[in-house]
Each structure stands twice: as structure tokens, then as C-alpha cells.
Amino acid sequence: MKTLKKILIGLGILIVILLITAEFVKKDYTVEREITVNKPKQEVFDYVKYLKNQENYSKWATMDPKMKKTYHGIDGTVGFVSAWDSNNKDVGKGEQEIKKIVEGERIDFELRFFKPFQSTEQAYMTTESMGDLKTNVKWGFNGHMNYPMNLMLLFMNFEKMIGSDLDTGLKNLKNKLEK
């Protein structure tokens, strides 16, 4: 009985330490990647503003060829929703909606994940002219984890996890547009 009591007290102390630590751990994270595409800015922007085109370059869109996709609204306009549903646990179920467009410059999305976990994250793509035939494309995510789940940010490297997928997507985008 004394050993069990010591174990329970030890676990209790550990939980309290973790909860206190979580108070001081950041709750927000940002991951951003960029690439230069050898095409004019307007041509690149006109391609990335259509969510359906992500099927041609996004790593996530290609992870499950059997994924069910549905669309609502007019692609390339504010309010358009692209939804997916997959049995692949790495893809899950969710949707993204175009929330704001600054024509020729930036598109903002809201990602809503339903499975395997529920979360809402903000994402964006920007285009910046680097000369007549070069465009810098940035793709980024802004995330938030509430207390005490933010403690996971100490153990999960979102920069590496999401960043490598963004890099893959941007390389695919570059290859697609420069064909």
C-alpha cells in the first residue's frame, strides 16, 4: 500500500509540474516556406487562388487517391469551400474555406479539421514579383493550441512536420507552373 501511495503522489506531483509548465509554453505557432517560380506574378497568383488546383501540387491532396472531395461555391472567390474525407489517418476529414483575397497578392484560408482531431487553423499563400518572369511564393500556417494541450508544442516539431509538406507542395507547384 505504501508503494502505491508513493506512486500516486509522484504522479500527482508530475501532473502539477506539467500543468504549471504549460502555463509558460507558447500557444501559437507559425510555419512558412517559400520558393521562386519562373513565371509572372499574376499568372502564379491566378493559379494558386483556385483551391481545386491544390490537387495538382499539395502533398496532402495526393496522400489518398480514394479521398472523397466536395466543393461549395465558386472556386477562386471568398466563401468557396473545398472539403475532403479520407480513411487514411494522415489525411482525415476536414475542409478549407477561402476567407480573404487581396487580388494578385494574397489568399487567406481557414482550415477546419474534423478527424482524426478537431482543430481550426489559418493558412495563406502570397505572391511577390521578383522581376518580370520570377515570383516568390510563400505558403504558411498559423496555429494555436489551448492550455494545457499547448504542452505538446514542447514535444512536436510543427516547423519540421508541416514545413516539409509545404516544401514538397511548393516544389510541386514550381514544377507544374514551369512546364
Taking only the tens place, the pLDDT of each residue in 47-61 is 999 999 999 999 988
The stretch 7-35 carries a mean pLDDT of 84
The CATH code belonging to domain 27-177 is 3.30.530.20
pLDDT at 109: 96
Sorting pLDDT into bands at 50, 70 and 90, what band is 80?
A: very high
pLDDT of residue 55: 93
CA distances from 120 to 87, 96, 172 (A): 20, 9, 25
pTM summary value: 0.81
Beta strands in the chain (DSSP E): 28-37, 68-72, 81-85, 93-102, 106-115, 119-129, 135-144
Inter-residue contact 50 to 76 (CB < 8 Å): yes
For residue 118, give the 3-state DSSP assignment: coil
